Structures are given as C-alpha cells and as structure tokens.
C-alpha cells in the first residue's frame, strides 16, 4: 500500500519534470512599458512583473531591466518614455490576461501602460495591452499593483476569497 502510493507520487513528480522541460524557454515575450508624462513620473527603481493566464499559471520577470533592449546604460522608466524589453521564458498554458507590477526602490513611478506580446513555437501569438495609469508610490505603500483582466468563467469560492485578500 505504502509503496504503491510512493511510486504514484514519484510518477506525478516525474511527469511534472517532463512537462516543465518540454515547455521551458519556448516562448518569447516582448514587453513595451510607457512611463507617464507627469511630473516625477519616471523612476530609477527596479520593476518586476508577474504575468499570468486564466489558469493562474504565473511567469515572474524579475528586474525587467535585465530584459532591456536599450542597453545596460540606458535610463529605463524615464518620464514620458516607452521602453522595450524582451526575453525567453516558459510558455503559459493560455494567453496573458493578468499582470502584477512590483516596484523595488526608493522613488515612485507612474506607469501608463504595459504591452505584452507572446510568441511561441507551437502556439499562436497573443498580445495584451494593460492600461495601468497608476502610481506605484513607495510612500503610500502602493508599490504593488494587480491588474487582473482575466475572464471569470471558472469562478469558485476559493477564487473569490483569494481576490478579496489581494
Ligand atoms: C536594481 O537592481 C540592480 C541589480 O540587481 C541593483 O544593483 C540595484 O541596486 C537595484 N536598484 C534599486 C534601486 O534597488
Ligand atoms: C500596445 O498594444 C496596443 C493594442 O494592441 C497597440 O495599439 C499599441 O500600439 C501597442 N503599443 C506599443 C508601444 O506597442
């Protein structure tokens, strides 16, 4: 009995590894970020984003600047500017529909919009335009923003309580 259960667990673990390997680095993400053209809208802080699909699978992109296409010396997130970022990552099962933005630093930022284009080898392209238009304000404790635009067709109680906490 015990052994049976153990091998079942191993099987689950094994198929999980296969699954993640098969999907590793198969998608290319291009991300446009526009910083608001408002006084002090720009920031020197680091920005991390988490992309999610309808199944709530999540792809973290830690420190967007590491994906910056304007070079390491460019001033990213400058007032009124559009910055371009791109990189490879595992494909999410569905198109991106939810975004978490996290500001890590000491000066606030006004994010106008974030555009995410996903291109996968065996997948159709998808594009999502997030109109954010919000301050990530280190002094007001709003340095994290959740922009969830996923449709709610698999609504259950757990999901609801989760949303209320966020
Ligand atoms: C941003 O990240 C870089 C690299 O990880 C680090 O050297 C720098 O101190 C960070 N800047 C801020 C404002 O946290
Ligand atoms: C972002 O996406 C929207 C809608 O798809 C598009 O109209 C806009 O031109 C895009 N902006 C950039 C900078 O790519």
Note the pLDDT of residue 25.
65
- Residue 101 CA: distances (Å) to CA of 23, 32, 155: 24, 14, 24
Instruction: Give the Cα separation of 75 and 61 in Å (integer).
Output: 19
Q: Ligand 1 test: best mutation among 42, 43, 46, most atoms within 8 Å of CB?
A: 46
Domains of the chain (ranges, CATH numbers): 2-165 (2.60.60.20)
Residue 163 predicted with pLDDT over 70:
no
Q: Which is more confident, 25 or 79?
A: 79
Instruction: Give the Cα separation of 166 and 49 in Å (integer).
Output: 16
CA of 18 to the centre of ligand 2 (A): 35
pLDDT mean across residues, the chain: 83
Residue 19 predicted with pLDDT over 50:
no
* pLDDT single digits (tens) 84-113: 999 999 999 999 999 999 999 999 999 999
pTM for the full predicted model: 0.77
Residue 17 predicted with pLDDT over 90:
no
Instruction: Please give all residues whose beta carbon lies within 6 A of any atom in ligand 2, as ranges.
Output: 32, 82, 115, 127, 129
Residue 161 predicted with pLDDT over 50:
no
């Amino acid at each position: 009995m015990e052994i049976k259960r153990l091998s079942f667990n191993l099987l689950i673990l094994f198929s999980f590894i296969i699954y993640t390997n098969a999907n590793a680095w198969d998608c290319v993400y291009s991300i446009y970020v526009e910083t608001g053209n408002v006084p002090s809208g720009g920031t020197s802080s680091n920005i991390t984003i988490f992309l999610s699909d309808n199944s709530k699978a999540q792809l973290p992109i830690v420190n967007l600047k590491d994906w910056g296409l304007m070079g390491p010396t460019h001033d990213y997130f400058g007032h009124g500017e559009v910055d371009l970022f791109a990189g490879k990552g595992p494909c999410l099962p569905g198109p991106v529909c939810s975004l978490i933005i996290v500001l890590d630093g000491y000066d606030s930022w006004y994010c106008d919009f974030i555009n995410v284009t996903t291109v996968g080898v065996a997948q159709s392209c998808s594009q999502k335009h997030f109109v954010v238009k919000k301050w990530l304000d280190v002094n007001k404790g709003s340095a994290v923003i959740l922009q969830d635009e996923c449709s709610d067709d698999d609504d259950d109680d757990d999901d609801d309580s989760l949303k209320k906490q966020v």
